[in-house]
Structure 1
Amino acid sequence: MALTIQQQLSSPRGWLNFLIKHNTIFIFILLVVFSALISDVFFTSVNLSNLLKQVSGIGIISIGMLIVILTGGIDLSVGSMVALLAVTFAILVNTIVLPLAIIATIAIGFGLGSIAGYLVAFQKMAPFIATLALMTIARGLGFIYSKGSPITFDTAGGLFMSNFANNATLGIPNIAIVFFIIVIAAMVMLKYNVFGRLVIAMGSNEEAARLSGIKVNKYKFLVYAISGALAATAAIIVASRTNLGSPNMGMAWELDAIAAVVIGGASLNGGKGTAINTLMGVLILGLISNILNLLNVPSYPQQVVKGAIIVFAVLLQRFESK
Structure 2
Amino acid sequence: MRLVDKKTVADGVVTVRLADIDGGDVPSWEPGAHIDLVLGPGLVRQYSLCGDPADADAVTIAVLREDSGRGGSVFVHDELREGAILEIGGPRNHFALVEAPSYLFIAGGIGITPLLPMVRGVERLGAPWRLVYGGRRRSGMAFAEELVRAFPDSVEIHPQDEAGLLDIAGAFDATDAGVAVYCCGPEPLLSAVEELGRERGIDVHVERFAPKATGERVVDRAFEVELGRTGTTLSVGASESIVDALRRTGVSVEFSCLEGTCGTCEVAVLAGAPDHRDSVLTEQERAAGDAMMICVSRCRGRRLVLDL
Shorter-chain TM-score above 0.5: no
- Higher strand fraction: Structure 1 or Structure 2? 2
TM-score with structure 2 length normalisation?
A: 0.22
Question: RCO greater where, 1 or 2, for CA within 8 Å and sep 6 or more?
Answer: 1
- Higher helix fraction: Structure 1 or Structure 2? 1
